[in-house]
Amino acid sequence: MIELSFADALFTYLLLWILFIGILWCRELARVKNFDWKVSNSRLFHCDNCHHSFIVKDSVNLTRCPRCNSICIFRKQRNLE
Ligand SMILES: [Zn+2]
């Protein structure tokens, strides 16, 4: 039988806890990485003709409305703070 002193048992206990917390930490980091927010280049356009709002994936300043096919210009949003 393996004889352990109280200090060895306590050290092993703490080592196992640190290992367990490290595994949980790595798992959480991998999980957060998968569901992380990403900055997107898409822009929200608003058609002045038909008041239709739509998102364009590219970072363009000029596009056509998918509903009425009129030209829409991207305007910078005013800061509402
Ligand atoms: Zn439109």
Q: Is the pLDDT of residue 57 over 90?
A: no
Summarize the chain as % helix, strand, coil (round to 5).
Answer: 35, 15, 45
d(CA 52, CA 29): 40
Q: Same structural domain for residues 29 and 47?
A: no
How many Å lie between the centroid of ligand 1 and the Cα of residue 41?
A: 21
Cα dist. 39→2, 31, 57, 66 in Å? 56, 18, 12, 24
Q: Same structural domain for residues 31 and 47?
A: no
Give the predicted TM-score (pTM) of the model.
Answer: 0.45
In-domain check, residue 27: yes
In-domain check, residue 52: yes
Angle at 44 between CA 48 and CA 50, to 5 degrees: 25
Task: Name the pLDDT band for 35 (thresholds 50, 70, 90).
Answer: confident
Q: Please, are residues 55 and 45 in contact by the beta-carbon 8 Å criterion?
A: yes
pLDDT at 76: 73
In-domain check, residue 78: no
How many Å lie between the centroid of ligand 1 and the Cα of residue 79?
A: 25
Q: Same structural domain for residues 7 and 25?
A: yes
Q: Same structural domain for residues 30 and 47?
A: no
Residues 33-56: what's their mean pLDDT? 84
Residues spanned by the domain of 15 = 1-38
How many Å lie between the centroid of ligand 1 and the Cα of residue 65?
A: 5
Q: Is the pLDDT of residue 46 over 70?
A: yes
Task: Name the pLDDT band for 79 (thresholds 50, 70, 90).
Answer: low
How many Å lie between the centroid of ligand 1 and the Cα of residue 72?
A: 8
Higher pLDDT residue, 42 or 12?
A: 12
